[in-house]
Every structure is written in C-alpha cells, then in structure tokens.
Structure 1
Amino acid sequence: MEELYERIDEPFRAWLAALVGIVSILVVGALAFPRQVYDGFIWKYFWGPVAADGQGATCAVREGGETTLLTSTTECAQATGYVAEPGYTTVSTISYALILIFMLVGVVLLLHRLEIGYDPAFFFALFPFVLFGGALRTVEDVGITLGPEAAATVPYPWSAALISPFIYFTVFFLTLAALLVSIGLSERGLVDRFQPPLAVAGSALLAITLAYLGWVIQVSDAITFNVWVPVITLVGATILTAAAWWATERFAPSVNAGTGLMGALVIWGHNVDGVANVLSLDWNHVFGLPDYGPKHVVNGFIYNNTGTVQPQWLTDAIGTAWPFIFLKLGAAVFVVWIFDDRIFEESPAYAMLLLITVLAVGLGPGTRDFLRATLGI
C-alpha cells in the first residue's frame, strides 16, 4: 500500500487533517464539557433521535448523564433535560448537508489522486453497492415491523448503523474500504484491475443482505413474499428504459453520447423508483400490500392532485400516481443528456462521482421501495 499512499498529495492530506481536527475538537469538547457539547449538541441532534428511532420510542430524554426512553407524546412534552425525537431537526439537517459536502470534496480529491477518472468499469463496479444500500435500508424496515424484541431484528445499538442518516455513512465507508482494498490488490499485482474485486465485494454485501431478508421471510409470519412486485417493477423499468434508449438513439443520439450504457443504467434506476412508487400507491390493494403514502414531495403533489385534472373513470382505472413514472423518466433522460463528453474531459473524477450519485438518488430509494412492497411491510 506504500505506492498508494505516495499518490495521495497535499490537497487530500490537508482535507484529512481538517477531518481529524474537526473530530478532535468534538471529542475534546465532549470530554471537557459533557453536558453542553455532548448532551446539548451531539446527543440531542445526532445520536438521540437515532436512539429513540432504533428502540421504538416516541422520544429519548438525556438528563444527568442518563438516557430515558418515553412512549407518550404527553410525557415527552413535559420532560425536563434534553429531548430528542426520531427524525431530523434544522440543526441536524444543516449539519448533515455540510458533512455531505465535506465528504464529497474528500472523495473527489481521492479519486483524482488515484487516477480513477472516467472509466465506465468503475461506474458499473459500484452498481451493486447502490442496490446494497437500498436493501440494507429495508433491513431496518423489517426490524421496525417485527419489533425490537424479535429474534430476527438487528439489536440496538447495532441497528443504529441501519437508521437514516447513519446508514449513508455505513454504506459509504463499506464502499470506500472495498475500493481501497481492491486498489491495493491491483497495486500488489494480485489482480489485473481493481474494478472486478470491487464489484465482487459489492455483490457479496448485496447477497448477504438479501439472504438475511430471505431468512426473515422463513422465520416470521409478519413478513410475506409478493413475487409479482419485483417482477412488475424490474420488468416494467426495463421496458421503459429500452423504449427510452431506442427513442433517443433513433431521434436524439446526442443524449447518450457522453454516458453510453452508464446513462441507460441511470435511467433504469430512476424507472425502478417510479414504477415501485406507482405500484405501492395505486395498486397495493390488488397485490394485498399495506397502505403506503408518498415519500417524495413531488410524488405527493402528483398523487394528491392528478385526480383533480383527469376524469374520474381514469382515476378509478389507473389511479393518480402514474405521471410520476413519466416525470422520473423524463428527468433521468435530461440528466443523462447533460453529461456530455465535455464534462468528463474537464473533470472526469467529479463527473463520475456525480453520475454515480444521480444513480444512487433514484435506484437506492427505488430498491428499498420495491423490497418493502415485496415483503409486505
């Protein structure tokens, strides 16, 4: 790994030094002023909400160095000390956004120095990790359905790694570790290229996660298996992607010129999200699924307002969420068109990272949505 270390130059080392400095300040502050820094900031805005969520509580209360879980909204409102409820706050949202930007800068610097750049093989090697992220999020959904005492549930505090937003860090660091190990194997001459072992690592993580979900289906009566959900979702997304690919190649070949099959995969990922949402919202009763609500703001607007502009007979026949499919498809095609050759030539590492992010934004939630519907949770 010495050759790998030598290729990491000063900008990345400066970024790493900043990371160590920020973490050190928080650790020293928490030790020196535990009530103000740890209880009043780190715990209240970051760990407390996850602790409450992971243990099925309405809120968690931190007072006198002790944490108490409450299940009543009245008790939470009357509690003294620092109170944390599941979900995000303004402080945590802004903080996570800043952390995301900081981490993206570090990743871009790392990719630049490792000279990964514009290589479609790298993009496709990361594809299993995107599926893994969505599947891993479903594991936490299973835990909520079964309850914290169920034998098949991942116990707290380990379950915190599966709860948003910590799950994003879990997937990120597992992916980064697999990337560095794969590059190390290539540097040592054990493999010709780092992409194949990277893809194998992601596929292995995905297989383990799916195997766990399959085991839960066998041992729990609360979890079902609706085979038509993945069939309709994946086949439908594939048909829509094939149609979009044919249309763009036939009438606007410039759309795919910069990304090629990478763009097709991006469109497919967003189609998975679109089809899974429509299937869950408008067709859940047909397949015996629970009642789901729209998770996207745009999807919610479409779902709640389409019925006001289309005939009632059409609403009764196909529902009101269907425009979301075409919105996702159109948006994905537009984004793929933006990624032309010039973007990859000017900043290949940044362009590749951004394209992977676009894929993850669609396929990650889409994977979770159709797996949840498949399991009936």
Structure 2
Amino acid sequence: MGLQGFFHRYFIEPIQQNQGYNPVNTLTYAVILGVAVILIYKMLKRMGIRVDDRFFKALIPYIILGPLMRSMTDVGILPRTYLTVSPGGYFVIATFAIAALFAVWIHLGPDERLYPIYRDFGWVLVGGLLFVLIINLDKVSFNWRVLEYFIPILLLAEASVWLLARVLPSVRDNSLLFYTHFYDATTTFVGIQFFGFWEQHVLARWLMSTFGTPAVMYAEKFFILWPIVWILDNWMEDEDPDLINFVKLTIFVLGFGPGTRNLLIALMGG
C-alpha cells in the first residue's frame, strides 16, 4: 500500500463512509491537537492575552459553533463535506475563532474591551447558524422523547460527580471538567442504549464491546480525566498557570463539544 492509499484508507474513507475513528487517525489527530494546543498557547502569550475567566466566557460562542454545525450537517441542513464533519469541522471553527481573535486584537491589543467584542462576534456567528437552522426546520424531525431519558440520567451522573468531589480533591478542584465529561458520557449512553446510535471512537467502542454496555463510558471518562488533572495540579504546579488553564480549557471543549453535538443530533432526529 502506497502513501496515497494509506492516507485514503485511514483518513478519507472513514469520513466518506462515516466509519468513525480508527487507531491510525486517532493517534494522528491526538498529536495534531497536542501541537495545536502548544502553538495557540504561545500565540496567546505573544499577544498578551491571559487564559482566565474573561477569555473563557468570550470563547463560549465559538465552543457552541462546533457541535451546532456538526448536528446541522448530520440532519442534512448543511452539506456533508470534509469541512463540516469532524475533525475538519473543528479545524474550521478553530480557524474562525483564531482569526476573529486576531482581528479584534489588531485593533485593541490586550485591552479589556477585547473580550466582550470577541465574544459578541462569536454570538453573531452562532446567530447566523441558528438563522439557517430556523429557515430549514422542515428538514428536522424533533424527538423530544430523548429528554425523558437524558434529564434523569444526567441528574444521576452529575450527582455522582458531586459525591466524588466530596472525597477526591482533584475532582473537587476540577469539578467543571468532570461535570462536563459526565454530561458527554450521558449523551453517549442515552443515544446508544435507547436510540440506536453508535460510538465513533476506538477506545470507547472496544470498552463497550468488552463490557457489553455503554454505561462503561462513565468509568472511561473518570479514569482518563482524574490522572490528567492530578498531574496538572500536582506535577505541573510550577508551570505557567496560563498553560495549565489552556490545557484544562481544551479538556472542557473535548467534553462539551461532543456532548452537545450528541444531544443536538438526538433531539433533531439525526
């Protein structure tokens, strides 16, 4: 198999045939993500932008854009291309977010006004996508029964995080990350257990096959997330706080984005 055939088999076909992820593209995308985190962090440092609550709040609309675009693609409102499904869709959203930030920074620098203006531009983009959704509601078959399962199971899942936070300092100090990833696990569990969805990620598919239930997603989330935040808080406490915050922000996005995408797709009959 030549290089072109290898690339087509492991990167192009999974998108064309909606096969999900495989070990090769999973590892590749993980490396790309790691490099991107370091490069974006360095860019923010050079721009004098702190990764704090102001930055997080300004970034929220851009975080919403990804799952909204993906769900609209899966229900047929947006065309299915390499730029509207993962991982291409997330690269597109990241490009928009970085370009918008740079454009605002060029005019204001690291001024306090940067954050609300950057945030508002993101909400304009979200509003544009919502407008496209509204004028194409005839393509959507809403399934509100999803909430009958999702809400009570989510409450139980988040209650378990609350209990874990009482006994584990790493969970307590990073509770937002655990709440977010258990939200993601709940959308996966409900979609697969009750509505016939399937899991795209390699490790999760293997765990579900091995243990025979999508409920294993909660254990997967916990046993991956807990050591990561423990290392960040204990072994890397002398590192730049902005770097730690940006890594945690990335972890948040990796939970909130897929979870919201799953929920929207289920609700929209995707």
How far did residue 99 of structure 1 move? 4.8
- In the TM superposition, what are the counterparts of 1:178-257 in structure 2 within 5 Å? 178-187=100-109, 192-216=112-136, 218-220=137-139, 223-229=140-146, 233=150, 236-237=153-154, 240-241=157-158, 243-245=160-162, 247-248=164-165, 250-253=166-169, 255-257=171-173
Give the residue type in structure 2 aligned to 1:170.
V
Q: Which runs of 5+ in 1 are unaligned?
A: 1-39, 59-84, 144-151, 258-262, 285-290, 308-319
* 1:119-164: CA deviation from partner (whole Å, max 9, x where unpaired): 2221232233222111112222123xxxxxxxx544x8xx442133
Higher-Rg structure is: 1
RMSD: 3.9
Identical positions, percent: 26
Alpha carbons of structure 1 residues 265 and 306: separation in structure 2 relative to 1, 3 Å = same
Match of 2:12 among 32, 43, 49: 49
Partners of 1:349 and 1:225 in 2: CA distance: 41
Q: 1:364: which partner in 2? A: 257
The structure with the greater share of residues assigned to helix is 2
In the alignment of these two chains, the number of paired residues is 267
Match of 2:246 among 353, 367, 370: 353
SS at match of 1:346: coil
SS at match of 2:75: helix
Q: Is 1:125–1:196's contact at 8 Å kept on the other side of the alignment?
A: yes
Of structures 1 and 2, the one with the larger relative CO (CA 8 A, separation 6+) is 2
Q: 2:50: which partner in 1? A: 117
How far did residue 269 of structure 1 move? 2.3
Q: Is 1:49–1:87's contact at 8 Å kept on the other side of the alignment?
A: no
TM-score, L = length of structure 1: 0.58
Partners of 1:281 and 1:323 in 2: CA distance: 12
TM-score, L = length of structure 2: 0.77
Q: 1:292: which partner in 2? A: 197
Alpha carbons of structure 1 residues 304 and 86: separation in structure 2 relative to 1, 3 Å = closer
Match of 2:60 among 115, 124, 127: 127
Alpha carbons of structure 1 residues 86 and 295: separation in structure 2 relative to 1, 3 Å = closer
Alpha carbons of structure 1 residues 348 and 254: separation in structure 2 relative to 1, 3 Å = same
Partners of 1:103 and 1:184 in 2: CA distance: 21
SS at match of 1:224: coil
Q: Is 1:137–1:163's contact at 8 Å kept on the other side of the alignment?
A: yes
Q: 1:147: which partner in 2? A: none
